[in-house]
Amino acid sequence: MSLASARKLWRSGEPFIWLTGGALALALIMVAGLIGIILANALGFFWPAAIVRLTLRDGKTLAGSVVERERIPGATGSYRIKLKVANRDLYGADFVWVDEPEITERTRPAEVAVIERTEWGLLIGTITALREGDRVIATGPAAWEEARTRLPGTVRLRAEIRRVERSDIGGINYQQERMRLQLRGLELRGVTDGPEVQALRARMTALQERYQEQAARLAALRVRETASLVVTAEGGKEKVLPLAQVLDVYFPNQMGVGAKSVHYVAKVWEFVADDPRESNTEGGVFPAIFGTVMMVLIMSMLVTPLGVLAAFYLREYAQQGTFVSAVRIAVNNLAGVPSIVFGVFGVGFFIYFVGGTIDQFFFAESLPTPTFGTGGILWASLTLALLTIPVVIVATEEGLAAIPRGTREASLALGATKLETTLRVVLPAVMPSILTGLILAMARAAGEVAPLMITGVVKLAPSLPIDGTWPFLHLDRKFMHLGFHIYDVGFQSPNVDAARPMVFTTTLLLLTIVLLLNLFAISMRNRLRRKYATAAV
């Protein structure tokens, strides 16, 4: 192609269209690829995989589910498979690599059970007996039949134990702590004896008695279920598993698609609604969902009024000039500050300074244990509010700039004051822009992890920021967060390989939550737009 015709082609605009289209396509492919990887890894996790029994050339047998298949490095043409054999307590590791040429036989034994239990991850093996203490009650298939009738009882028992631990004993502990603090408060004021102190001491003693009662009750509950399952794992090892530790038993090779679907839905629900187990690698992520959503909501409640008011001053009242321009540039650049810096500021200013001061004035009796002087959901939300305030200010300012001058003049010409004009005309008209800013702020806040790690997020929070004890909303509490959960499970857990699917499911969940929050805000914005039919963005 000659230079002239190349020039002509370029001038026709056609190559530029291809260039722009190509850039968009590339961006879409990358996003779709990311979401595809997350979906592919996350969605399959809860599906009960078939259990295969492999007989190897040396006569050894293994049972487990196939997780991966890859070419053996260095060897041509042969593959190896990664088998999840579970039984960490028996074998030492959850996964085994098996070279395919070593395998002589593959079967799918129907009798192999997958048992979910409270510790050590999954147990895969054949149920051979049910014992009560040392006495064998049933053997073979009858053992499972008998165990199945007993399982609902153990579920109820576990719930009962949990209730006693959490509410009864937890409540007593809480009251004792409050009394201890009251005593300490009195002591700080110089009162070490007298009717008040005596009364508190008497109540403390009464509580101590109640505690002993509950502790005895708990001990009695703990020994009530004495039956245990005997499970034979591949390789002949036997495991005696107390029935009280069994959460769920299923036989994947006996399940049809229908049964597997039911199991899948139940597992998804457990993941969303249950507490985590075994240092977060098993169980659900409910506290993390709760913490994430609550933090985003508190952040929204803090950032929206603050950002909107600041934007109103900048655009409606401030004398436009060099100083205001400088402020505007500074606000915009604030969005580029690394989020960890906001975290450090949150720790230094909110936690140590503000929180420390609050503790000194209002919670002096519990010092040196900090109340607000340590990370908590309030400080984390405030830090994120600071992080996202530029987004809200910029969006609101743009909305204000888009409101025609004539609209304001019309209101003033009717005898409205500037304040009435601002509140009755400008504010409703700029509402969609405020919501746009809020949407962007929420998306940013929900995905942020770094500043949270040092301002109040923990790996495992003992209680939610909202619960039944007064004052119900505990802004000083530490909380769990999905973003941090991903980091913790994926890279800090003792068993990273087993926890990897959790990383993807948690990611998918976080994306879903952000999407839902955004859809909610977008639908609200669209409703407002339709109501006012404004042209303002």
Partner 1 sequence: MAGPVQVVASLNPHATAAILEAPMVEIENLALWYGDKQALKDVSMSVPKHRVTAYIGPSGCGKSTLLRCLNRMNDLIDGVTITGAIRIGGTDIYDPALDVTELRKRVGMVFQKSNPFPKSIYENVAYGPRILGVSQRADLDGIVERSLRAAALWDEVQDRLGESALGLSGGQQQRLCIARAIAVEPDVLLMDEPCSALDPIATAKIEELMLELKNSYTIVIVTHNMQQAARVSDYTGFMLLGELVEFGVTRELFTNPRDKRTEDYITGRFG
Report the alpha-carbon distance of residue 111 to residue 330 in Å, rounded. 68
Applying CB under 8 A, among 15, 101, 305, 428 the residue interacting with partner 1 is 428
- Please tell me the distance from the alpha carbon of residue 172 to that of residue 208, in angstroms, as a whole number: 8
Based on the shown chain and the rule CB under 8 A, indicate whether residue 412 belongs to the binding site for partner 1: yes
Report the nearest approach of partner 1 to the CB of residue 429 (Å). Answer: 5
417 touches partner 1 by CB under 8 A: yes
Q: In terms of CB distance, is 221 or 427 closer to partner 1?
A: 427
Nearer to partner 1, 135 or 530 (CB): 530
- Find the helix or strand (DSSP H, E) in which 277 lies: strand 276-277
Q: Judged by CB under 8 A, which stretch of 390-398, 406-414, 470-478, 493-501 contacts partner 1?
A: 406-414
**Contacts with 117 (C-beta within 8 Å, 6 or more apart), sequence order:** 123, 241, 245, 246, 247
Q: Examine residue 527 and tell whether it contacts partner 1 (CB under 8 A).
A: no
Determine which residue in the list 175, 407, 463, 495 makes contact with partner 1, applying CB under 8 A.
407
Nearest distance from residue 419's CB to partner 1, in Å? 11
Q: Which two tokens stand for residue 420?
A: 């009435």
**From CA 237, how far away is CA 55, in angstroms rounded?**
16
What is the residue whose two structure tokens read 């007996």? 129
Residue range at the interface with partner 1 (CB under 8 A); choices 133-141, 162-170, 418-426, 442-450: 418-426
Given the complex with partner 1, which of 21 and 404 has the nearer CB atom? 404
Query: Does 420 sit near partner 1 (CB under 8 A)?
Result: yes
423 binds partner 1 (CB under 8 A): no
413 touches partner 1 by CB under 8 A: yes
Nearer Cβ to partner 1 (69/424): 424
Cα distance between residue 446 and residue 321, in whole Å: 36
Stretch that binds partner 1, among 14-22, 76-84, 404-412, 503-511 (CB under 8 A): 404-412
Of 230-238, 424-432, 470-478, 481-489, which segment contacts partner 1 by CB under 8 A? 424-432
- Nearest partner of 109 among 93, 127, 92, judged by Cα: 127
| 533 near partner 1 (CB under 8 A) | yes
What is the Cα–Cα distance from 39 to 88, expressed in whole angstroms?
Answer: 28
Q: Residues with Cβ < 8 Å from 266, sequence gap 6 or more?
A: none
Half-sphere exposure of 386 (CA within 13 A, CB side): 21
Asked if 526 interacts with partner 1 (CB under 8 A), we say no
- For residue 153 the two structure tokens come to 């009882």
Residues 6+ apart with CB under 8 A from 382: 299, 302, 346, 350
- In angstroms, give the least distance from the CB of 455 to partner 1: 40
Between residues 74 and 406, which has the closer beta carbon with respect to partner 1?
406
DSSP track, 89-135 = HHHS-SEEEEEGGGEEEEE--TT-EEEEESSSS-EEEEEEEEEETTE
Report, in Å, the least distance between residue 310 CB and partner 1: 23
Q: Does 429 engage in binding with partner 1 (CB under 8 A)?
A: yes
Does residue 40 interact with partner 1 by CB under 8 A? no
- Which of 113, 185, 173 shows the shortest CA–CA distance to 147? 113
* Residue 393, C-beta contacts closer than 8 angstroms, at least 6 positions apart: 307, 310, 311, 314, 331, 437
Instruction: Select the residue interacting with partner 1 from 181, 259, 416, 450 (CB under 8 A).
Output: 416
| Site size toward partner 1, by CB under 8 A | 23
User: Residue 381 or 534: which CB sits closer to partner 1?
Assistant: 534
Q: Which residues bind partner 1 (CB under 8 A)?
A: 404, 406-407, 409-417, 420, 424-425, 428-429, 531-536
